[in-house]
Amino acid sequence: MYRIIPDESVQFMNLEAGNIDMMTLTPDMYVNKSLDESFNGSYNRYNYTGPQYVYIGYNLENPLFKSEKVRQALSYAINRDDIIKNVMLNLAKPVTGPFIPGSWAYNGSVKGYGYDLKKSAQLLKQDGWVKQPDGFIYKNGVRFTFTIYTNQGNKPREEIATIAQQQWGLLGIDVKIRILAWNILLTQFIDKKKFDAVVMAWSLSRDPDCFDIWHSSKTKEGEFNFISYKNPEVDALLVRARTTFDFNTRRICYRRIHEILSADAPYTFLYTPDILEAVHRRIHGIVPAPAGIGYNQIKWYVPAELRKYKISIEK
């Protein structure tokens, strides 16, 4: 049985109270709140790299983000190492593209965007943005201002939005933050493209096919390419990669896609988080593996003497 509890802090309260048997922990919960003897007497903790990455995505229908130089400037201005250290408590790894480091699709030669405010300022100036006496940058009389959105109850994403606001502010960009309930953010803003930028994450399958996220045909309301990214070469590579059984061809396609997306910077790629799980000790049969812990969930069981719930089946 599953319970939907949108707020992570409320989830953890229920976990501590024994009302739920399993949850994904935040880094703060894993490092600071789940080390006491009582917690560890009741729960096993697991830590493994999962197929997921966190990013800041830009609405490419917004004129502010049409320029590649602007998007690159925004990416150079974000200190990923600082986010990984202070938000994720070093329980994450930096990423430079839409695949997981160490996977066969990941292009390790792509360097991405190191923290470089000087480079950011240069790119913005090249694109026509000039700082005025009020401390903000303007182009053709228009101030560079936008709102970054993320979902309520996800503390790391809220902290990332705040850090981005501060770091972009050093360049003279006026950034506001809006935190919304997940269903409202998704249905009223993301699906309808009524947003400027978002802090989000993608959970990926083991196969690197990302057609639905990046192909230009997938930009309609409710589809996954909600930032409206369009690149003919990426389109062709996505189709080629999903229509061949040749492993080497697929690898070449995806690594080229990685290279292009890094250069185009429709996302500021941040990190892949460690997956941090707490599972009640009454649950047996868990065998951690490179695929995580859920791959063999069908074999999990609770010994009869430890069962809390009884299911009656009427004939």
What domains, with CATH codes, occur in the chain? 8-49+274-306 (3.40.190.10), 52-204+267-273 (3.10.105.10)
Identify the pLDDT of residue 153: 86
Non-local CB neighbours of 210 within 8 Å, separated by 6+ positions: 98, 204, 238, 257
Write b or e for each residue in 45-84: b if 16 or more Cβ atoms lie within 10 A of its Cβ, otherwise e.
ebeebbbbbbbbbbbbeeebbebebbbbbbbbbbbbeebb
Measure Cα distances from 1 to 124, 284, 287, 313 in Å: 51, 17, 21, 16
Residue-wise pLDDT tens digits, 246-272 = 999 999 999 999 999 999 999 999 999
What is the pLDDT tens value at each position of the chain, 315 positions in all? 677 887 888 999 999 888 899 999 999 999 988 888 888 889 999 998 888 999 999 999 999 999 999 999 999 999 999 999 999 999 999 999 999 998 999 999 999 999 999 999 999 999 999 999 999 999 999 999 999 999 998 999 999 999 999 999 999 999 999 999 999 999 999 999 999 999 999 999 889 999 999 999 999 999 999 999 999 999 999 999 999 999 999 999 999 999 999 999 999 999 999 999 999 999 999 998 877 898 899 999 999 888 887 665 555
Identify the pLDDT of residue 35: 82
Non-local CB neighbours of 44 within 8 Å, separated by 6+ positions: 278, 279, 280, 281, 286
The whole-angstrom separation of Cα 274 and Cα 292 is 10
Residue-wise pLDDT tens digits, 199-229 = 999 999 889 999 999 999 999 999 999 999 9
Measure Cα distances from 242 to 7, 60, 210 in Å: 37, 25, 9
The whole-angstrom separation of Cα 224 and Cα 190 is 9
Identify the pLDDT of residue 1: 67
Residue owning tokens 């925004």: 74
- The torsion region of residue 244 among left (phi > 0), alpha (psi -120 to 50) and beta comes to beta
Identify the pLDDT of residue 161: 98
